[in-house]
Chains A and B, each alone.
Chain A
Amino acid sequence: MTQFPAKVPIPVGSGDSAEFWSWLRSGELRLQRCDACKVVRHPPQPTCASCGSTERTWVRASGRGEVWSSTTIFPPVLPEFADAAPYQALVVHLEEGVFMVTQPAPGLELTIGEAVEVVVHVVNDDVALPLVRRSPTAAS
C-alpha cells in the first residue's frame, strides 16, 4: 500500500462547508449540531432538517466509527491519485450517526465492520483530511 498523495483536489467549501475544512486544517474533526434539537448533521447545511432551527454549533466529533463499506479503486481517474492506485476508499459510519467518505490512514487496509477512529491527516498546507485507522480498543 502506497502513501497518501501529497496533493489532492482542495476542498475549500462554501458557506457552512468551508468551516468544516478549516476546523480540519486546525487539526480537529468537528460536525454541525443543531442547538435546538441536538441532531448532528453531515454534510453541513445552514438549517436543521429535523426541527428547522438555523442555530448551530460546530462540536468536536468523537472520531469513533465503523467501516460501513469499502472498495479498492484501480483506474484512479483523478491524476492526483495516479501513483497511489490501486487504493482503498471507504464509507465510515460515525458514532454521531452520520456517514462520510474517507480512506484508511497511510499504510492501512481496513474491512467492513471494523471499528475505526479518525485521524486528521495533514496532506499539505492547504488540506487536512479525516482519514481512519483501526480503533486501538477494537481488539478487546
Chain B
Amino acid sequence: MLDAKNGVVRFDRHAAIAGIGQTEFAKNMGRSELDLACEAVRSACADAGFDPREIDGVASFHIEQIDEIDLAFALGFERLRFMGRTPSGGGGAASVVGLAAMAVATGAARAVVAFRARNRSKTAAYGADPNQGGRPWEKAGTTLSGYQQWHHPFGVAAPAQEMALIARRHMHVFGTRAEQFGMQAVAQRAHAATNPNAIMRTPITLDDWASSRVIADPIRLFDCSLENDGAVAVLVTTRARAADLAQPLVEVLAHGQCDGPIHTDLARFFAHTALFGERVNGAAAMSPDLFGVADIAPSDVDVAMIFDHFTMAVPLSLEQYGFCEIGAGGPFIESGATHWPDGALPVNTHGGSNGEAFVHGLNHIPEAVRQLRGTAVNQVEGARHAFVCGSITDPSGALLLRGHR
C-alpha cells in the first residue's frame, strides 16, 4: 500500500524510473541551458520509448534556470499537471526524483521528468541568478544583507572553504585523515577512467592527490567537484506504465527528505548538525525509516550514489545513513569498501562529481539506473538495490531503488 512512515514514502509498486538521459559533459560548451535541457529530456524519453509530448509533470531544483513552462513549450507537452522544486542545490539530488515519484504515485501526474541543466561558463551568464553563469560570490556585491554577511567579511565565501571547516571538525572529533578523502577521490577517478561520458578519464594515485594544490585545508583540488556544462533528465512514471515501456524496470522503493542545517550558514550549521555524533537529526534520524519502509537493510544495498560536491561528503553520508558507525567513514573508505570492483559498497561508480561531471548530483541517478539494469561500464555484478542521496551538508533526502531484470 502506498503510505508513509515518519515522512518516508513507501511507493509499493506505484513509481518507477522509465528513462534516463544526459548530454555530453564538458567545459564551455557554448550552449544555453534550455538547449541542454531539451536534449537531455528527449534522450530520457528515447531511452524509455516514450513520447515527450505525454510528459505532464516537471520536477526541478530551486536553482534551475529553465522555467517549467518554457520546457513544456519547447518540447510540446500537451498538458502540464504537476510542477515542483527541491530546496538547497545539491540537497535535491535524490529528492527531485523523489518528488517526481510522489507525483506519479499519488496521481498528481502520470509521467514526470526530473531534470537539471547547467551552464557555468563565465562568458555566457544566462540571467541574473547567482547560481548561474560564474560563481555566487562574484555576485554578492560589496554590501551584504543576506546570508553572506556572516561569512564573507571573514574571507569565507566558496563552498570549499565552508566544507573545509566542516571536514576539519570531523577530523578533530573522530581522527579522520585528509588522505581518506583522497582515497575516495582516487576511487572515483578510477571509476571515471572507464566511463566514456566522464570529463576526467585519466586515473590518479594518492600521491597525485597529495600533490594537488590545497584549496582550503584539508580540501585539495582533486577533492573538488568539476565546473562544467551539461544536463541530465530522469523520466518517472507509474510502475505499471514503466513495465510497458522499453527498459528493464527500476522501481522506486522509498524516498524521504530530511532537514539539516545548510553549509552557507555555518553558525547554525555547527549548532544543529548531527555530523559529529552529538545529536541525531536530519539524515541520521530519517535513515532507519528509509530502510524500514523499503524493508531492506543498508547491507542489502549493492551500490551507492552519494552527492559529492567534495569528497569529504562521502564518508559523512555513509555515517549518517547507517552504512557505518558515526565517525567511521574515513576508515570505511580506507578499507577499500567504496572502490569498484572489489569494494563491498562501490560508491559513485561513474566517477562522481570529481570524475564524470558536476550536475548538482543528478548525473548520479542515471548511473544508479544503469547499475540496476545491468548496463553500467563499471557494473556491480547482480546489483539489485541502489541507494542515492543528496548533499549531506544541506537540507536533503535519499532514495532506495530496486532493479528487476
Docked complex Cα distance between A77 and B216 (Å): 11
Docked complex Cα distance between A4 and B361 (Å): 37
A43 touches B268 (CB 8 A): yes
A70 touches B154 (CB 8 A): no
Chain A residues contacting B141 (CB-CB under 8 Å) are: 9
The verdict on A112 contacting B168 (CB below 8 Å), with A9-B153, A43-B267, A99-B271 known, is: yes
B154 touches A68 (CB 8 A): no
Bitwise interface map of B from 70 to 90 toward A, beta carbon under 8 Å scored 1, else 0? 000000000000000000000
A113's contact among B152, B155, B172, B269, by CB below 8 Å, is which?
A: B172
Distance of A63 from chain B, by nearest CB (Å): 16
Chain B residues contacting A106 (CB-CB under 8 Å) are: none
A100 touches B158 (CB 8 A): no
* Range for the number of chain B residues in contact with chain A: 35 or more
B157 touches A77 (CB 8 A): yes
Q: A26 at interface (Cβ–Cβ under 8 A)?
A: no
Q: B215 at interface (Cβ–Cβ under 8 A)?
A: yes
A74 touches B145 (CB 8 A): no
B154's contact among A10, A12, A102, A112, by CB below 8 Å, is which?
A: A102
A9 touches B165 (CB 8 A): no
Instruction: Name the residue of chain B whose CB is nearest to the CB of A103.
Output: B154
The verdict on A8 contacting B152 (CB below 8 Å), with A71-B216, A74-B215 known, is: yes
- Nearest first, the 5 closest Cβ-Cβ pairs linking A and B are A71-B164, A11-B149, A69-B169, A14-B145, A81-B155
A68 touches B169 (CB 8 A): yes
Q: A84 at interface (Cβ–Cβ under 8 A)?
A: yes
Q: A108 at interface (Cβ–Cβ under 8 A)?
A: no
B145's contact among A5, A13, A103, by CB below 8 Å, is which?
A: A13
A12 touches B145 (CB 8 A): yes
A-B residue pairs in contact (CB < 8 Å), sample of 7 = A10-B142, A12-B145, A71-B216, A77-B161, A90-B165, A99-B270, A101-B165
B161's contact among A8, A89, A98, A112, by CB below 8 Å, is which?
A: A89
Q: B135 at interface (Cβ–Cβ under 8 A)?
A: yes
Q: A57 at interface (Cβ–Cβ under 8 A)?
A: no
Chain A residues contacting B153 (CB-CB under 8 Å) are: 8-11, 123, 127, 129
B residues in contact (CB < 8 Å) with A: 135, 137, 140-146, 148-158, 161, 164-166, 168-169, 172, 213-218, 265-271
Docked complex Cα distance between A80 and B150 (Å): 16
Docked complex Cα distance between A123 and B142 (Å): 14
Docked complex Cα distance between A77 and B137 (Å): 8
The verdict on A12 contacting B168 (CB below 8 Å), with A17-B149, A101-B151 known, is: no
Q: List which A18-64 residues lie within 8 A (CB) of chain B.
A: 18, 21, 42-43
Residue among B166, B265, B267 facing the most chain A CB atoms (10 A cut-off): B267
Chain A residues contacting B157 (CB-CB under 8 Å) are: 77-78
Instruction: Name the residue of chain A whose CB is nearest to the CB of B148.
Output: A9
Distance of B164 from chain A, by nearest CB (Å): 4
Docked complex Cα distance between A78 and B141 (Å): 10
A69 touches B270 (CB 8 A): yes
B169 touches A98 (CB 8 A): no
Distance of B136 from chain A, by nearest CB (Å): 10
A74 touches B267 (CB 8 A): no
B155 touches A43 (CB 8 A): no
Distance of A120 from chain B, by nearest CB (Å): 13
B215 touches A89 (CB 8 A): no
Q: A107 at interface (Cβ–Cβ under 8 A)?
A: no
Distance of A46 from chain B, by nearest CB (Å): 15
Chain A residues contacting B148 (CB-CB under 8 Å) are: 9
